[in-house]
Structure 1
């Protein structure tokens, strides 16, 4: 293969930041690695995103314990991807919350996704031996649910399909802060391999309608201030549209996946080539964009073998 597969060549540890984005609200970020969020209530703590392994989850807990000794009562998983959920056991949270759609995806493709992402991201899965198995929610919801951390209200909502069909966001109304999962990214490529390009823009509009003062995105730095929030939302929109539009044009004229790959590279490389995990994401993004443009609404399941075959076809 012309390039190291996915992120197999990325073995350098990233610097962790723990940024306050509101009163008792924090974003755990690590230079383009998957982010986590923290909400401190009156008597307990909610975590958003569990990381890929218990070892990585312990780094989130280490930061939390620097600011509070309140117990972790809730863990919210914005979608089903292995790098977001397999560290859940380390938090020992009584409630693990997912949308019902996300839980259905664990049933349908959770093991395949674990196998696939393990192969793609070896650094993120250091310590994988301690993962007890697939992560299952104790609580699911359809559309919206509200959790009270004492007096603090937290709304967990599905605002539309984007990164996956089961995406959820977490809104803290007293602080006007949102945790978006991978619907919004900052200077990091969007992973669209399980995405819904035609819906993504509307979902971004639904996020923007809340007018958040801060956002903890799925990857990249915390977005502090409405100007930075707006810029990140629009940049995410540009990334998604710039990926889908050229692939759709190729599909419409009956062109090949390799032709779609060349067209997307021509559109996206000048704008996004320096973004975190760009080269990793691009083949999966093009394959999904090409499928969606040909009428395949439900993303095909990625397996470890399908990953390798597709990468070889496009990178050769």
Structure 2
């Protein structure tokens, strides 16, 4: 009998934290589950990341209503993954913003990603019957755009490929706070199955160049203060390097995917085995790193069938 995905048995609800990361800025976090950012402007609220379902989105809204009664006008989605975008309908935002690349990826592989993630993370998709369909943006941008929530300026931009080809970050300049999506994680494994290993570290350096005072990462605790920010940026870079470099060496000598798996585990297990979703991410990360090291620049589309074939091959 095939072994279930590592996250399939994780059905315990996570403890939610709602942490202030700047004046009128909050990070909704849940012990390694996907995070959501909240930006309160003069007249309305911007949400960063929608959550996987309307049910989970309502948990975010409940926290928002503890600090403001202003309407939610904008929703920014940093990339296309189902666990980030399919709760969008709950917010009733008049604008849903994505990068042009992320929007194209919704059309190219959004349904396949939804189908595959549904099996990978059953707990996150409880209440999935409410999802009206794929989440598509009302507004896209190529490089950057600025939104004013009254007098509050919010800059949304692409700083490079990393977690996906379409990653965006959200920068609030008057507080020097950034919402990074899954480009940055804290004590949580990076999911690299749709990533770009050779670009990721430069993108992290581009984030560091802003000298953020705080960061709301994609997963894990809010990063408060420059010391914690620097620590998370380096640990994320270390995770990406430690995953890719041993696999690239295996590929260079003509080694197999199973040899790449063993090499990656030898490098990463001692440092990262206690990170959230580590075992879940590992096979997807190895498969993508193996492809990238062989010169495949565009990540192959994950489908429910490919997920299972890859998972079973590694378990064997």
For 2:148, the equivalent position in structure 1 comes to 148
Mapped pair 1:98 → 2:98: yes
Q: Distance in 2 between matches of 1:157 and 1:236?
A: 20
| Count of residue pairs brought into register by the alignment | 316
Deviations 1:88-146 (A, max 9, x none): 00000000000000000001000000000001000000000000000000000001000
- CA distance in 2 between counterparts of 1:267 and 1:9 reads 26
Corresponding residue of 1:5:
5
Q: 1:262-287 CA distances to partner (integer Å, 9 max, x unpaired)? A: 00000000000000000000000000
Shift in Å, 1:5: 1.1
Q: Per-residue deviation at 1:6?
A: 3.3
- Identify the residue that residue 208 of structure 1 maps to in structure 2: 208
| Aligned residue runs from structure 1 range 27-46, under 5 A | 27-46=27-46
**d(CA) in 2 for partners of 1:92 and 1:312?**
40
Structure 2 equivalent of residue 265 of structure 1: 265
CA distance in 2 between partners of 1:163 and 1:6 (Å): 20
Structure 1 residue 2 displacement after superposition: 7.5
Distance (Å, rounded) in 2 between the aligned partners of 1:6 and 1:138 = 35
**Cα offsets for 1:231-260 (capped at 9, x unmatched):** 000000000000000010001111000000
The residue that corresponds to 2:177 in the other structure is 177
C-alpha distance in structure 2 between counterparts of 1:276 and 1:148, whole Å: 35
The equivalent of 1:89 in structure 2 is 89
Answer whether contact 2:3 2:312 (CA < 8 A) is retained: no
Question: Given that residues 163 and 192 in structure 2 are in contact (C-alpha distance below 8 angstroms), is that contact kept between their aligned partners in structure 1?
Answer: yes
For 1:199-278, list aligned pairs within 5 A.
199-278=199-278
Deviation >6 Å, runs of 4+: none
Structure 2 unmatched ranges of 5 or more:
none
- Equivalent residue, structure 2, for 1:281: 281
How far apart are the structure 2 equivalents of 1:136 and 1:205? 30
Q: Is residue 216–residue 223 contact of structure 2 (8 Å, CA) maintained in 1? A: yes
Aligned to 1:120: 120
- Once residues 291 and 246 of structure 1 are traced to their aligned partners in structure 2, the CA distance between those partners, rounded to angstroms, is 13
The CA distance in 2 between the partners of 1:315 and 1:223, in whole Å, is 35
Structure 1: segments with no counterpart, 5+ residues? none
Query: 1:30 Cα deviation (Å)?
Result: 0.0
1:315 Cα deviation from its structure 2 partner: 1.3
Mapped to 2, the partners of 1:68 and 1:225 lie a distance apart of 24
Q: Does 1:301 align with 2:301?
A: yes
In the TM superposition, what is the alpha-carbon distance from 1:156 to its structure 2 partner?
Answer: 0.2
Q: Deviations over 1:172-224 (max 9, x none)?
A: 00000000000000000000000000000000000000000000000000000
Q: Following the alignment from structure 1 to structure 2, what is the Cα–Cα distance between the partners of residues 257 and 181?
A: 29
RMSD: 0.7
1:189 is matched with which residue?
189
Q: For each residue in 1:35-62, what CA deviation from the matched residue of structure 2 results, as whole angstroms up to 9, or x when unmatched?
A: 0000000000000000000000000000
**Could you give the per-residue CA deviations for residues 2-48 of structure 1, whole angstroms, max 9, x where no partner exists?**
75313101001000000000000000000000000000000000000
Q: TM-score, normalised by structure 2?
A: 0.99
CA distance in 1 between counterparts of 2:142 and 2:153 reads: 18
User: Shift of residue 168 of structure 1?
Assistant: 0.1
- Between the aligned partners of 1:2 and 1:314, the Cα distance in structure 2 is 11
Distance in 2, matches of 1:115 and 1:3, equals 19
| SS state at 1:183 partner | strand
Distance in 1 (alpha carbons) for counterparts of 2:76 and 2:167: 11
Q: Distance in 2 between matches of 1:156 and 1:315?
A: 40
